[in-house]
């Protein structure tokens, strides 16, 4: 899988995440964060690093922060809707970061 393909798939995942409803996001956290799903954001980031494209977090700090946040709230504990709204807002920033990346 090439850099361009991974970035495109992560952008697709972020676009889906930005359209989530904060009330329903708790039900979908696994899909975005768990590497069990090969097209999840976390799995794609893992693939990026395994293919030797470098440290993902240094290239995409906002997206890495988003994934860390997804991991921290994916524990089965329901949180206030504002927490999920913040995740969605962070996903919008991450989406912008990914779209602005110039593939070398």
> Would you say the pTM of this structure is higher than 0.95?
no
DSSP 21: -
- Render each residue's pLDDT in the chain as its tens digit; 104 residues: 899 999 999 999 999 999 999 988 988 888 898 888 889 999 999 999 999 999 999 999 999 999 999 999 998 899 999 999 999 999 999 999 999 998 76
């Amino acid at each position: 899988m090439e850099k361009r393909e991974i970035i495109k798939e992560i952008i697709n995942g972020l676009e889906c995440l930005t359209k989530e409803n904060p009330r329903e996001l708790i039900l979908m956290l696994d899909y975005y964060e768990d590497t069990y799903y090969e097209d999840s954001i976390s799995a794609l980031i893992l693939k990026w690093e395994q293919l030797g494209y470098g440290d993902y977090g240094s290239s995409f700090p906002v997206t890495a922060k988003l994934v860390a946040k997804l991991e921290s709230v994916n524990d089965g504990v329901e949180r206030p809707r504002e927490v999920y709204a913040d995740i969605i807002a962070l996903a919008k920033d991450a989406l912008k970061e990914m779209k602005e990346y110039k593939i070398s």
